[in-house]
Amino acid sequence: MQKKQLSILVLLLIFISTSSFNILPKDVIRNDFKKYYDKLNVQGSFVIYSQNKDAYTYYNKEQTSQAFTPASTFKICNTLISLDSKVINDEQEVIKWDGKERQNPVWNHDTNMRDAFKNSTVWFYQELARRVGEAQMKKLIEKAHYGNCDISGGIDVFWLSGGLRVSPSQQIEFLRKLHGNELPFSKPSMDILKDIMIVDNKSKYVIRAKTGSGQQDGKYIGWYVGYVTTKDDVFYFSNCIQSTERNPNFNNARTEIANIILAEMGILK
């Protein structure tokens, strides 16, 4: 009887010891990332998710659940809605410029979806939203569970100055579903989006991403969201920055901070 009890005790200790080594933290907090935000005079948060490790790395984790205006990062969702709604045929179809001069000279000409996504051409995606219409837009945003699904404020401005809000964590979840073809849109539409999202195509990795810039509650809001595919993993990231003043570093900070962090983590190498 004593030998049996001893054997059971030994097995139990082995199980506990082995299990303790296999329990790895799912969340890693990197407070040291703050120095990159301080250097560029912005506040913000950063979250990255490793698909293979099923693990998150955070800077300012609390803020990653807060909702902000998506600004031009909504072009990711708007592209899918517009393609699936058949208001535009593909990424090559040209929409004629309305002739109104805008702040960014690259916007002031006829353009297609591929270039409009790359150049973040606001009027192009506003035209697509008007073509989709409020009823269809509301239906598909709710079906896709994008942010708070609030399209109040006008069909062509709800993601800029209207009611639409999305958190950094929600951005990550939407991108995960996009990469896995799990969004409620056709595969051809998702394939087009994935193609026009490519911002860097290297031998060891591919970055698909989108910037965004807007204002909310007296602050400037900047985004850089996307995902990196490597040989061994997929890393989804969201950098959301804020500032009470539009300093010269603001736009560059969106991408610069993210790229520094991704490189430091060994993802871009």
Annotated domain spans of the chain: 23-264
Long-range contacts of 150-155 (CB under 8 A, 24+ apart): 155/129, 155/130
Q: Which pLDDT belongs to residue 4?
A: 56
Structure tokens at 185: 């849109």
Q: What pLDDT, on the 0 to 100 scale, is given for residue 246?
A: 81
Candidates 131, 120, 18; CA nearest to 85 is: 131
Give the pLDDT score at 11: 53
DSSP code string of 136-149? HHHHHHHHHT-TT-
pTM of the model: 0.90
Predicted local confidence at residue 26, as pLDDT: 76
pLDDT tens series, the chain, 269 aa: 455 555 555 455 544 444 444 445 579 999 999 999 999 999 999 999 999 999 999 999 999 999 999 999 999 999 999 999 999 999 999 999 999 999 999 999 999 999 999 999 999 999 999 999 999 999 999 999 999 999 999 999 999 999 999 999 999 999 999 999 999 999 999 999 999 999 999 999 999 999 999 999 999 999 999 999 999 999 999 999 999 998 888 999 999 999 999 999 999 98
Q: What is the CATH architecture assignment of 23-264?
A: 3-Layer(aba) Sandwich (3.40)
Active-site residue set? 72
Sheet holding 219-230, edge to edge: 27-29, 55-59, 43-50, 234-243, 219-230, 205-216, 198-201
The predicted structure's pLDDT at residue 12: 53
